[in-house]
Amino acid sequence: MTQSNTVTVHILDKEYCIACPPNEHNNLESAARYLDGKMREIRSSGKVIGSDRIAVMAALNITHDLLHKQQSLGQHATSTRDQVRDLLERVDHALANDDDDQAR
């Protein structure tokens, strides 16, 4: 593997070299900064000790946030779909009434 396919990131004071396609370097670095921030928040709370436990808690928190956002997006999509369906029915009804008026 060539050096250009690896990215070095720092998470909770440790350095990791991670294989990554060149077009994903920025995303990986952003993800690492986000994870590092979450882990530092958990460590600074003083409630969790040990980097393994901090990593698991950060992963659980991030996963919880992701699932909550996905659920929210799903509900929003359902609501939008219902609104579009209602609008289409109203348009169909208006067009049907316009056709009736023109037939008279």
Name the pLDDT band for 75 (thresholds 50, 70, 90). Answer: confident
Per-residue tokens: 71: 């659920």
Map out the domains of the chain with their CATH numbers: 3-103 (3.30.160.880)
Instruction: Give pLDDT tens digits for 14-49.
Output: 999 999 999 999 999 999 999 999 999 999 999 888
Query: Cα angle vertex 90, ends 87, 95, to 5°?
Result: 125
User: Whole-prediction pTM value?
Assistant: 0.68
